[in-house]
Amino acid sequence: MSGTEQVSEQSTENGSSNKRRRLRALLIAVVIFAIAGGIWYVYQDLIGQYYVGTDDAYVHGDRVPISPQVSGTVVAVLAQDTQYVKRGQPLVELDASDARLALDKAEAALALQVRSVRQAYARVGALKATVAMDRAQLTQADDDFKRQQNLRRRGVNSQEQFQHAQTALRVAQSRLALDEAQLQGAQAAVGGADLADNPAVRQAAAAVRRAYLALKRTRIVAPVSGYVANRGVQLGEQVAPGATLMDVVPLDNVWVDANFKETQLANVRIGQPVSLQADFYGGQVTYHGTVMGLAAGTGAAFSLLPPQNATGNWIKVVQRLPVRIAIPEKALKQHPLRLGLSMNVTINTHDRKGTQLTTSQPQRHPNDIAGLYARQLAGSRALVAKIIAANQGDAAHAHAGH
């Protein structure tokens, strides 16, 4: 066999061997893909269909703006960015000179009004005594007149004595009518109410409460516990109601808004368990939260310029709906989150007994602001009660006795 024939036969054998190897590799690849597809199908059928996830999720929370309720000049800034402040802790102080003078003036006006009304009560008592005396004198004058009238018929007394008795009776009647009219006027002035409920006293008391609140509001305190952020106020700045001086962020009460595709939400229900991971901590920390609720509309529906799809060149775009997820406070204490952080969210939809719309009322948070302002109002009422008690004397007892 010549050399050329040997080379040709060897090339044929090598080609056949390569072809067999390619067929074997292709077969192995097909088997691997088939196994992987089967595993994926089994996983999806048994497990995967119960989970939906997204990485379009971000941490949200309350940003409580700190704004003055009265105008004034900033004389102290007592909190800085990143600082933790407790509820009721002073943050900013305004010049309180004018407010303190206004309160002193209102207190003096209330004290003066209480004493004036107290005098009115005393006048009512005095007029009641005068009217009682007038009635006794009228009774006596009437008896004298009747006696003189009988004596006049018998001709025992003179005409002058009869006329004097008649005049005395008319004077007593007029005096009684005059004092009764003055008593009615005095009673109308006090209104038949207790001293504290007198309209004039209540008006002066309202002025005291207003001045008291204005003075208290020159010290701006934290309405909630949290961390100071976005501080923009400076010493010496003239501020007015409504201006934002800084924000306080309560990081113990944050949540996650996860934007799921509308095609993922058919089986999502309130109360379902959620696994969350923050890019801030990576895969080292997993939060276990629950679905709080689904938003009332998509992000596009609440945008500044909602899309107008009634056009001839419309292209369908899958919308995203925010799902709010609660995170336990204990987990937030162990691994704090910040507003705006990115999150990876996976919802376990295996339990589908819940609803997608909540009917429960939101619970009041421990950092409720209303209680702080209620205490200020209670302090103003206590001050009013103290001023009235110091100036009313025995007026209340005297009024009650009449």
The pLDDT tens digits of the residues spanning 83-110 come to 999 998 999 999 999 999 999 999 999 9
Q: 336 and 255 in one domain?
A: yes
Q: Which CATH number do you get for residue 139?
A: 1.10.287
| Pair 302, 197 in one domain | no
In a domain? residue 144: yes
- Domain encompassing residue 329: 251-306+314-361
Asked if pLDDT for residue 288 goes beyond 90, the answer is yes
Residue 255 lies in a domain: yes
Q: Are residues 349 and 278 part of one domain?
A: yes
CA 269, distance to chain mean position in Å, is 29
pLDDT digits (tens, 9 = 90+) for 299-353: 888 877 777 777 767 778 888 999 999 999 999 999 999 999 999 999 999 888 8
- Decide if 166 is inside a domain: yes
Does residue 277 share a domain with residue 189? no
Round to whole Å and give the CA distance between 274 and 284: 16
Q: Which of 179-183, 274-278, 329-333, 347-351 has the lowest mean pLDDT?
A: 179-183
Task: Name the percent of the chain in helix, strand, coil, to the closest 5.
Answer: 50, 20, 30
> What is the tally of structural domains in the chain?
2
Same domain for 352 and 383, yes or no, is: no
Q: Do 284 and 205 belong together in one domain?
A: no
Same domain, yes or no: 203 and 152 = yes
The pLDDT value recorded for residue 398 is: 45
Measured distance CA(125)–CA(393) in Å, rounded? 15
- Residue 323: other Cβ atoms inside 10 A: 27
Question: Is residue 329 domain-shared with residue 384, that is, in the same domain?
Answer: no
CATH number at residue 298: 2.40.30.170
In a domain, 282, yes or no: yes
Pair (137, 194) in one structural domain:
yes
In a domain, 59, yes or no: no
Task: Note the pLDDT of residue 45.
Answer: 57
> Residue 168: its pLDDT value, please?
81
Separation CA 267–CA 263 (nearest Å): 10
Tell whether 66 is covered by a domain.
no
- Are 162 and 198 in a shared domain? yes
Tell me, yes or no, whether 206 lies in a domain. yes
Classify residue 87: in a domain, yes or no.
no
Contact 191, 199 (CB under 8 A): yes
